[in-house]
Structure 1
Amino acid sequence: MQGGSSGIGYGLKYQARCISDVKADTDHTSFLTGTLSLKEENEVHLLRLSSGGSELICEGLFSHPNEIWDLASCPFDQRIFSTVFSTGESYGAAIWQIPELYGQLSSPQLERVASLDAHVGKINCILWWPSGRCDKLISMDEENLFLWSLDCSKKTAQVLSKESAGMLHYLSGGAWNPHDANDVAVTCESSVQFWDLRTMKKVNSIERPHVRNIDYNTKREHILITAEDESGIHVWDLRKAKVPVQELPGHTHWTWAVRCNPEYDGLILSAGTDSVVNLWLASTSTSDEIRSESLMGLPRQRVNPLLNSYTDYEDSVYGLAWSSREPWIFASLSYDGRVVVESVKPFLPRR
């Protein structure tokens, strides 16, 4: 395991919490990030890795009216993204379009495509269907889950269905299953809930307190990763979800975010309030595979799953994003507005 960082840095003017890979940009390795300032005019930065991979360039800088608490890039249109924002007193959510840049850094205003204004309480996140083109969105507040139909050409978003999580279930976030468009996982105070979007009903759950973040393994069905405040990271096989397949120690303080690599099975990033990003190689072996190894008399060696720690931060790290275009590259964002892009090529598993 190594420490420190040899990554490429970029500084935002204000504090920030969220960063997103621009998956639809197939020509560049790009990321979107937004700031979180209560008093100043907030900003959205479009960042691109230079062709030589040695510099992080700001291709667009846009003003945003409020604090940005959640940001996600549209997976099928590189100019479209969503934000959840706060005025300090209330929350809102909107879909935005980046103007044509034509090479200028000082860019025109963002265009508001649609407002997701059906929420009453605190909005936590917006989810885009992760694989391929889809005109549907999910948004969540603390009590309700909404399914939307988005029409960017008509600049409209309509609620298709809505359901309450019920009393004593405070929704905090979620992940859309990339293997099943009808399945979404939702984090609550004491569980991870699995919802069927066709009926808008909960169909299963993992009882687990203080789950902070979740992500699906895009390479293997039924594998879900959870990040928990104090008890680290857990790998789950959802076909038998009573106990995790693997437990990783996580961070010395709260484990805040976890991301599965889009291409390399078992490669996981985590970030925490200990100002560290960790790179893990997790096992996704089934119990049958493990049992067959034992029966054949093969030695099972304990291998440290922690491949590397990146420690070049001075504040809590809240934002993580793998690049879809170059899956050995990731971007991280600490609360003080520092963006770092790293390459994990030396640690890639054999394929």
Structure 2
Amino acid sequence: MQGGIVYGGLKYQARCIADVSADTDNTSFLAGTVSLKEENEVHFIRLSPYGTELVCEGLFYHPSEIWDLKSCPFDSRIFSTVFTSGETYGASIWEIPELYGQSNAPQLDELVSLKEHASKLKCILWWPRGRHDKLISIDEGNIFLWSIDSSSKTAKVISQESVGMLHRLSGGSWDPHDQNVVATICESWLQCWDLRTMKKANSIENAHFRDVDYNPKKQHIIVTAEDESGIRIWDLRKPKFPMAELPGHVHWTWAVRYNPEYDDLILTAGTDSAVNLLLASTPGSSDSTPESLADYAALRMDPLLHSYSDYEDSVYGIAWSRREPSIFASLSYDGRVVVESVKPYLEKK
């Protein structure tokens, strides 16, 4: 793959893109639109076998603006959305119809609607390691743990916890190493919760968090995107100070994602119309462990491997491919999907 491959099939503005990790035969992504007046769409996009073009395998109508979209990690035809129509918010789990290739923009099959939320919904989290019958939904004031049965189209709340009036949750990430731990972000706090008790396990304070992601290979290690401080890597066992600080974006850093296989590669997206690829080995990940932050900075030199800047609008959505970890997709607000390969930078690690 030489250069970025562009998919221009989204007719409306868009914020959400997700890797279809359960599609083990293809490199594929889902993208959803946020049109205020038009009927919104979900696009099922696949990279062609030779990696030369992006093909729309399915186009589906969605009833409202899509503000969060996640693909089910164990069934390629199932995904979740958080959506809004005016002042009302909702969340549903959908199934792509089996004969989707034989019909133009067929209706999605709504498997489950998550109707217990009274506050503004922010996101849905699937446990990333595969089949799991639990689901997490987060609104501004609450965390819900659900038991999902897609065959009977039922969802039952197992437990719920409120974060109180002082904080407003904005997102989170489910620990891939521990099904019982989820990290949530709320303004100047990052809080980890034990889902068995719905109690806080630990927290990081005094930073304005925008996004968070767990290191897929190393337990207790997370990366955060912050409005003013850029990118920080933390060890949750030592939450007072970050392990490393990396450059952010010129404007807000909106999203951050660890590579699923090469955990020293980090992808970030921002409202400066750029996507950055960072090399971010944490101390202790190699045989030589730096003695101080100065040693660490000297070892790392410039962590910015490349900045992809061929966008004309803010980039809110980024997604690594789990099937082909050297590939990622990005989605700018104007509906432009770009797929890039980072293979040239793997040799520089």
Q: What TM-score bracket applies, with the shorter chain setting the length?
A: over 0.9
Counterpart in 1 of 2:170?
172
Q: Is the 8 A contact 2:328 2:339 kept in 1?
A: yes
Which residues in structure 2 correspond to 1:180-259 (within 5 Å)?
A: 180-259=178-257
- AA matched with 1:348: L
Structure 2 residues without counterparts, runs of 5 or longer: none
Counterpart in 2 of 1:325?
323
TM-score (norm 2): 0.95
Instruction: Give me the whole-angstrom Cα distance separating, in 2, the residues matched to 1:13 and 1:299.
Output: 44
Instruction: Give me the whole-angstrom Cα distance separating, in 2, the residues matched to 1:182 and 1:326.
Output: 28
Kindly state the Cα deviation for residue 87 of structure 1 after the two structures are TM-superposed.
Answer: 0.5
Kindly state the Cα deviation for residue 242 of structure 1 after the two structures are TM-superposed.
Answer: 1.1
Counterpart in 1 of 2:5?
8
Instruction: Give me the whole-angstrom Cα distance separating, in 2, the residues matched to 1:337 and 1:18.
Output: 10
- AA matched with 1:9: V
Instruction: Give me the whole-angstrom Cα distance separating, in 1, the residues matched to 2:55 and 2:297.
Output: 49
- AA matched with 1:291: E
- AA matched with 1:289: T
Q: Deviations over 1:112-137 (max 9, x none)?
A: 00000000110000000100200100
Q: Deviations over 1:38-94 (max 9, x none)?
A: 100000000000000000000000000000000000000000000000001110000
Instruction: Give me the whole-angstrom Cα distance separating, in 1, the residues matched to 2:291 and 2:347.
Output: 23
What SS does the aligned partner of 1:289 have?
A: coil
Instruction: Give me the whole-angstrom Cα distance separating, in 1, the residues matched to 2:75 and 2:150.
Output: 10
Q: Is the 8 A contact 2:64 2:84 kept in 1?
A: yes
Percent of aligned positions with the same letter in both sequences?
A: 70
Kindly state the Cα deviation for residue 102 of structure 1 after the two structures are TM-superposed.
Answer: 6.2
Instruction: Give me the whole-angstrom Cα distance separating, in 1, the residues matched to 2:50 and 2:340.
Output: 14
Q: 1:21 aligns with which of 19, 22, 40?
A: 19
User: Stretches of 4+ moved more than 4 A in 1?
Assistant: 297-302
Instruction: Give me the whole-angstrom Cα distance separating, in 2, the residues matched to 1:7 and 1:307.
Output: 16
Kindly state the Cα deviation for residue 290 of structure 1 after the two structures are TM-superposed.
Answer: 1.3
- AA matched with 2:3: S
Q: Is the 8 A contact 1:101 1:107 kept in 2?
A: no
Structure 1 residues without counterparts, runs of 5 or longer: none
Q: Is the 8 A contact 1:59 1:105 kept in 2?
A: no
Residues 1:290 and 2:290 are matched in the alignment:
yes
Kindly state the Cα deviation for residue 108 of structure 1 after the two structures are TM-superposed.
Answer: 2.3
Which residues in structure 2 correspond to 1:1-351 (within 5 Å)?
A: 6-11=3-8, 12-101=10-99, 103-104=101-102, 106-286=104-284, 289-291=289-291, 300-348=298-346
Q: Is the 8 A contact 1:61 1:105 kept in 2?
A: no
Q: Is the 8 A contact 1:58 1:105 kept in 2?
A: no
Kindly state the Cα deviation for residue 302 of structure 1 after the two structures are TM-superposed.
Answer: 4.9
Q: Deviations over 1:173-204 (max 9, x none)?
A: 00000000000000001110000000011111
Q: Is the 8 A contact 2:290 2:296 kept in 1?
A: no
What SS does the aligned partner of 1:233 have?
A: strand
Instruction: Give me the whole-angstrom Cα distance separating, in 2, the residues matched to 1:255 and 1:35.
Output: 21
Q: Is the 8 A contact 1:60 1:104 kept in 2?
A: no
Instruction: Give me the whole-angstrom Cα distance separating, in 1, the residues matched to 2:269 and 2:134.
Output: 29
Instruction: Give me the whole-angstrom Cα distance separating, in 2, the residues matched to 1:308 and 1:105.
Output: 41
Structure 1 pair 242–342 and aligned structure 2 pair: CA distance change class (3 A): same
Instruction: Give me the whole-angstrom Cα distance separating, in 1, the residues matched to 2:307 and 2:104.
Output: 36
Query: Aligned-residue CA RMSD in angstroms?
Result: 2.1
Q: Deviations over 1:199-251 (max 9, x none)?
A: 01111100033200000010111110000112100011112121111101110
Instruction: Give me the whole-angstrom Cα distance separating, in 2, the residues matched to 1:317 and 1:194.
Output: 27
Instruction: Give me the whole-angstrom Cα distance separating, in 1, the residues matched to 2:273 and 2:296.
Output: 39
Q: Is the 8 A contact 1:176 1:183 kept in 2?
A: yes
- AA matched with 2:6: G
Structure 1 pair 102–164 and aligned structure 2 pair: CA distance change class (3 A): closer
